[in-house]
Amino acid sequence: MQEKLSELSPQLVSRQREIESLLKESGRTRESIEKQIEMLLLEEAMLAYQLEQGKRVQAECHIEFSSVIPILNKAVTGLQNLNRRDIDELRSLKSPPFPIKAMLKAVCMILNVKPILKSIPTEINKFEEDYWTPSVGPNVLGSKNIVQLLGAIDPTTMDTATMERLESLMDSPEFSFVAVERSCVAAQGLFMWVRAVRNYYYVYKMNEPYRDKMVISDL
Average pLDDT for 84-96: 88
Average pLDDT for 78-89: 86
Nearest CA-CA partner of 180 in 171, 170, 165, 191: 191
Average pLDDT for 156-176: 89
Better-predicted residue by pLDDT, 76 or 218: 76
**What pLDDT is attached to residue 216?**
35
- Alpha carbons 77 and 150: distance in angstroms, whole number: 11
pTM over 0.85: no
- Alpha carbons 190 and 151: distance in angstroms, whole number: 11
pLDDT above 70 for 23: no
**What pLDDT is attached to residue 219?**
38
